[in-house]
Structure 1
Amino acid sequence: MAHADTTETRQYLTFTLAGEVFGVDVAKVREILEWSSITKVPQTPEFMRGVINLRGSVVPVIDLRQKFGMPETERSINTCIIVVEVETGAETLVLGMLADSVQEVFELEGVNIEPAPRIGTKLDTSFLKGMGKRGDAFLMILDIDRVFGGDDLAGLAAAGERAA
């Protein structure tokens, strides 16, 4: 991404997970919600916390901390649900992601995005678009369509149908 079009400027919503800053393209974000009642769905992956009712629609809620191998997200005054659209090939799946807190929306030029680091052959960083440079700090820019593999998305869609 960084080298495809280094003059392109995009807006990213930044949020925190376990003290680390992540970003997601605002074009993928539908809305940000306060933590609400999440209904657990049986036989779903650990990182799927359940589903919420979003104006009559069943929306799966994912704990990104657990998806990334971190401790489970605990509810606090800043904990929120970021509702995003994920492309699954032929269709778009709407899902919620738990975040410790939402920071801000800011613009980042392509020249300020480095490729995702390659750390050995066993660590998969394909879900990262890159590392955004902001002053002396870095933030991890997620490729939200790749965070969840095909099997994950199929399971999430099925869980949403079961809950409906």
Structure 2
Amino acid sequence: MSSSTQPSVSTFTSLEFLAFTLGKEEYGIDIQKVQELRGYDAVTRIANTPEFIKGVVNLRGIIVPIIDMRIKFNLGTPVYDQFTVVIILNIGGRVMGMVVDSVSDVITLTHEQLKPAPQMGAIVEADYLLGLGTIEERMLILLDIDKLMSSTDMGLIEKIAA
């Protein structure tokens, strides 16, 4: 049995997730990682960065890289409208923004409502999934935002923010 430094979702009695949409799917991230929500504003594009890194914004003196999750997960062409939200995250002391189609609510899930992520060809790699959250007829794809934002291809974000 291998030991892990990250607690699994099964070690908690309940967790709160911020629910958001990308395309037709609903996702959730740990609310404790969310610093604030903002409307989508123009960003300053950085040359020679992957397409999913939209650019940077100046947030009260902090240069914040902005990642478009629809592009990152290859979910079609993003549309920026009045519902588009930038979720400002604070992950390990790094501030970054993530563009999503909309934010719906904060959901508390109990251990019984958490299901393991299925091992199949999914848009989001299984490494970045905590599991699935079920709330009546709704199903939330729970992202491990720490792992996703510290993944190899996101390493460029640290360089941009520096």
Q: How does 1:79-158 map to 2 (within 5 A)?
A: 79-87=84-92, 92-119=93-120, 124-158=125-159
TM-score normalized with structure 1 length: 0.87
Shift of 1:94: 1.1
Number of equivalenced pairs: 154
- Alpha-carbon RMSD across the aligned residues, in angstroms, is 1.8
1:17 is aligned, of 13, 22, 28, to 22
Any idea what SS the aligned residue of 2:79 has?
A: coil
Q: Deviations over 1:58-93 (max 9, x none)?
A: 000001111112123211110010001223xxxx32
CA distance in 2, matches of 1:55, 1:124: 34
Kindly state the Cα deviation for residue 136 of structure 1 after the two structures are TM-superposed.
Answer: 2.1
Task: Return closer, same or farther for 1:72/1:148 CA change in 2, 3 Å cut-off.
Answer: farther
**1:63, 1:72 within 8 Å by CA — same for their partners in 2?**
no
Runs of at least 4 residues off by over 6 Å: none
Tell me by how many angstroms 1:111 deviates: 1.4
Residues of 2 paired with 1:68 and 1:13: CA distance?
18
With 141-150 and 21-30 compared, the bigger mean Cα shift is at 141-150
How far off is 1:146 after superposition? 1.4
The separation in 2 between residues aligned to 1:110 and 1:72, in whole angstroms, is 35
- Residue 149 (structure 1) shift: 4.4
Q: TM-score, normalised by structure 2?
A: 0.88
Give the residue type in structure 1 aligned to 2:147: R
Stretches of structure 1 lacking an aligned partner (at least 5 in a row): none
Identity of aligned residues (%): 33
